[in-house]
Chain A
Amino acid sequence: MSSRAAPLPEEGRLRSLVDFYATQMRTSVVAQLQYRAANYFYMLGMVAEPVIYLVVWSTIARQHGGAVNGITAGQFAAYYIVWTLVRNMNIVFGAPFWEWRIREGRLAGDLLRPLNILHYDLAYFAGWKFVVVALWLPIAVGLSAVFHPDLHPSALQVVVFVVAIWGAYFVRSMFQATIGMLNFWTTRGAAVFDLYMATEMLLSGRLVPLQLMPGWVQTFADFLPFKWTFGFPIESLVSNLSTRSLLLGLGAQVMWTVIGYVLFTFAWRAAIKRFSAVGA
């Protein structure tokens, strides 16, 4: 029989973290596969938003002689079809879900584990992305057949895009987690979340390509994190950004990830002292 009053020995730290990410991502895939139909209906629901934008902008483009601010109907199609993938990639453990996590007592269980809670969420949603991409592919093919996107990326653009959609995922994870900390101070954080989401909607390129916004709005957006979670990844694939702009964009994502992580860490340390574990 095992030795008395001693925990089991542990593996090395780095190897363990890689092992945790692989295991948690696998667990997430297994969990998502339990609900294949639900996931698909969810994806179809999500497609409604960009398709509306796409139809509206394509119509306007046609009415303006084929382009709006230099963006053709085919480029709008490319923008919003890529949008569907970027949107699914930047879905993270959202700020409002922290309220659920606290209220349902899930946080207490998470806190008992010897692991930074961010790793837990990052790995789980990262695993989910593999299911999402698999489900997205036939939708993208269908949308392309209907809307004929004008999309001719270079190899570099494809590489940057693949990195940038993960960058968007990390930036958004950090900021949503930081905003989620509000739940430790108020049980009605929804108003702040709504304000955050509205700002993101306008300044990220989600509602409208930033290229169609006034110049000062575009400049303003450059200095905020939102653009790097939506507009930049899309444009890295569909626009003709220079190599310098592509690399600067990736750099901005790294910078905002670090800023978001630092903000989260400070907020988390203060928040956890206020945790009352009620209902846990």
Chain B
Amino acid sequence: MSESVVHVSELTKVFKVPEREPGLRAAAKALIRRQTREVHAVEAISFDIEPGEVVGFLGPNGAGKTTTLKMLAGLLYPTSGEARVLGHVPSRREKDYLRRMTMVMGNRNQLQWDIPALDSFELNRAIYRLRRDDYLAMRDELVELLDVGDLVRKPVRNLSLGERMKVEIVGSLLHRPMVLFLDEPTIGLDVTMQKRIRTFVAEYNERHGATVLLTSHYMADVEALCKRVIVIHHGQILFDGALSHLANEFAAYKTIGVLLEDGNVELDGYGEVISRDGDRAILRIPKAETSRVAARLLSEHQVLDLTIEEPPIEDVIEMVFAQSR
């Protein structure tokens, strides 16, 4: 059995947040005694990630995804519990560890704003102590994979959001990290750019066998890249397993798409009609009744086509969160 690249056990992060009532009296009171509140951002979570896995880390805003990623990247000191990545304790921030991982934050710019990305890449070469030949080969490979072209010669501030994200990713991977923490890498990008980045991550994982932990609010990212997902809410893990099992476990219904010969048939008695367009209809049916309803439709009407599908992954995730409330 291979050793886990990421090992997390009972990992917890509690933030102390200052808090006071509004008004002058409360302000004066706070001068003497400062009130704080504990926010349990991550509560005793545990999981392991094997070498080369691409895992989706899902949850609503404030669920604890980014906090977990930051603890694994060594940016945050855990309150308790254990985290090990590539055999290192991230909070010790050992240089040998930092050379083997990277974290890309979709909403943050880590390249120098005023100069062309090529100059920032050169600086990263020096920071990561890369041999020039290796650096040039890796840089050219990444530039080609992401189709960055001459964008690297423009000052970063003159690039569009999508272009900036691509050069950010090139800069973050020049040292060929073995572990990638990607925090919303496609946030704010158009559909074409999202697809490009997804393809790139898959290609990088395939070429270099890197392990990837990815957060994204775009289910297309997760469906395209991750066989396994970890769902977190209120700092606790709700699900950890194959993406394909998520719907089985949490979806309470399936959808039946039906194409009828007679577009005037009344369908309300079969289930909730989500949409109706003449002879085409989509019904939402409780999971346990799907087979029976499908059989009834086929026997009672002239059906030209019928499909049974799991609900969209966005809906399943919403159900997971709803069930945890």
Contacts and interface: CB of A to CB of B under 8 A. Distances in A.
Contact of A112 (B77, B102, B138): B102
Given A11-B131, A27-B122, A34 B209 contact: no
Contacts of A9: 131, 134
B108 interface: yes
Contact of B127 (A13, A20, A31, A111): A20
B209 A114 contact: no
Interface in B2-52: 15, 51-52
A105 B106 CA distance: 12
B302 interface: no
Given A5-B52, A8-B138, A30 B119 contact: yes
B155 interface: yes
10 contacts: A7-B99, A7-B175, A8-B135, A9-B131, A27-B119, A31-B114, A114-B95, A115-B95, A272-B93, A275-B76
Given A5-B211, A108-B105, A275-B75, 11 more contacts: A20-B129, A27-B112, A27-B120, A27-B123, A31-B114, A108-B70, A108-B75, A111-B93, A114-B127, A115-B95, A276-B76
A27 B102 contact: no
B73 interface: yes
B130 A11 contact: yes
The 8 closest A-B pairs by CB, nearest first: A4-B209, A114-B98, A109-B110, A23-B126, A5-B209, A16-B129, A114-B95, A10-B129
With most chain A CB atoms within 10 A of its CB, the pick from B102, B127, B138 is B127
Contacts of B77: 272-275
A242 interface: no
B168 to A, nearest CB: 10
Interface of A: 1-2, 4-11, 13, 16, 19-20, 22-24, 27, 30-31, 34-35, 105, 108-109, 111-115, 272-277, 280
A114 B99 contact: yes
B15 A276 contact: yes
Contacts of A272: 77, 93
Nearest to A4: B209
B115 A112 contact: no
A111 B70 CA distance: 11
B185 interface: no
A112 B176 CA distance: 14
Contacts of A113: 98, 127-128
Contact of B155 (A5, A8, A10, A34): A34
Contacts of A31: 112, 114-115
A108 B123 CA distance: 17
A5 B178 contact: yes
Contacts of B175: 7-8
Contacts of B119: 27, 30
A119 B155 CA distance: 24
Given A5-B178, A23-B123, A280 B75 contact: yes
B137 interface: yes
B178 A7 contact: yes
Given A7-B175, A9-B134, A16 B103 contact: no
Contacts of A22: 126
Contacts of A274: 77
B108 A5 contact: no
Given A8-B138, A10-B99, A275-B76, A108 B108 contact: yes
Contacts of A1: 207
A2 B122 contact: no
Contacts of B93: 111, 272
A7 B108 CA distance: 24
B208 interface: yes
Contacts of B64: none
B177 interface: yes
A9 B119 CA distance: 21
B114 A114 contact: no
Interface in B105-158: 105, 108, 110, 112, 114-115, 119-120, 122-123, 125-131, 134-135, 137-138, 141, 155
